[in-house]
Amino acid sequence: MPNGALIIVDVQNDFCPGGALAVAEGDHVVPAINRVAPRFDVVVATRDWHPADHVSFASSHEGRDPGETVYVEDLEQVLWPDHCVQDTPGAQLHPSLDLRPVDLILHKGTRKELDSYSGFLETDHRTTTGLAGYLRELGVSDVTVCGLATDYCVLFTALDAVDAGFRTRLLTDAVRGIDSPEGNIEAAMDRMRKAGVTFLESDEVG
């Protein structure tokens, strides 16, 4: 498999301009993704698919605001505005994202009590999404990660891909980040680099 799998992380309306948890220029990742997706043997798109009372929503914790951190059964949980609620327009993949090359749309964060940044593992670092097994069954050994947001779901998807034994690349012109707190994107890139993730741009994909 020359290029292996492309993992498109959470390119959803709520993470794009005008959405409930918009990433600056989030929609700018779409053209690069559309260009390269047909060059991969397997393409997976993940999306947050939260119940309306999800643990990550500040609205689910009385007196708490987005940006605060709480502990839920010993797990640290950053609180966010309500976003990507199941079967709402905000949870849908961006309308300009070409879904024709996509082999699997993977839902994550579907359980009320457990968040999921990574496409591979929930935030308890024990509950799997099934993605690693799916890719191994298809003979995939190399994955390339892109999408939103660099310093959260992209970061943890890439790190977990490495931990799962995949050779992992980051498509640097097809990611955008939140950068909260300031410097978070740079720190995320550094973590990925140190973990063994290699970086490339879309025009370098064969």
Is 1 a residue whose pLDDT tops 70? no
**Could you say which of 48, 84, 108, 146 is catalytic?**
108
CATH of span 5-51+82-204: 3.40.50.850
- CA nearest neighbour of 194 among 164, 159, 166: 159
Do residues 7 and 144 make contact, with C-beta atoms less than 8 angstroms apart?
yes
Tell me the C-alpha distance between 146 and 3, whole Å: 14
142 catalytic, yes or no?
no
Please tell me which residue in 10, 115, 151, 160 is annotated as part of the active site: 10
What's the count of helices (H) and strands (E) in the chain, helices before strands?
Answer: 4, 8
User: Which pairs from 36-39 meet CB under 8 Å and 24+ separation?
Assistant: 36/6, 36/171, 36/174, 36/202, 36/205, 37/6, 37/8, 37/98, 37/101, 37/102, 38/101, 39/3, 39/205, 39/206
Answer yes or no: 84 catalytic. Answer: no
Which residue from 49, 39, 32 is spatially nearest to 6, judged by alpha carbons?
Answer: 39
Tokens of 88: 């709402």
Q: Which of 56-60, 74-78, 80-84, 100-104 has the lowest mean pLDDT?
A: 74-78
- Decide: pTM greater than 0.75: yes
pLDDT for the residue 123: 87
Q: 48 pLDDT band (50/70/90 cuts)?
A: very high
Of residues 161 and 123, the one with the higher pLDDT is: 161
pLDDT at 72 over 60: yes
Task: Let me know the angle formed at the C-alpha of 171 by 135 and 189, rounded to the nearest 5 degrees.
Answer: 105
- Taking only the tens place, the pLDDT of each residue in 87-145 is 999 999 999 999 999 999 999 999 998 889 999 999 888 889 999 999 999 999 999 99
Q: Is 203 assigned a catalytic role?
A: no
Mean of pLDDT over the chain = 95
Q: Is the pLDDT of residue 171 over 70?
A: yes
Q: Which residue has the higher pLDDT, 114 or 45?
A: 45
* 60-70 confidence digits (pLDDT tens): 999 999 888 89
Q: Tokens representing 53?
A: 């009372």
Please give the pLDDT value at position 126.
87
The structural domains of the chain, with segments of one domain joined by +, span: 5-51+82-204
Among residues 16, 82, 153, 160, the one annotated as catalytic is 153
pLDDT at 88: 97
| The pLDDT value given to residue 2 | 67
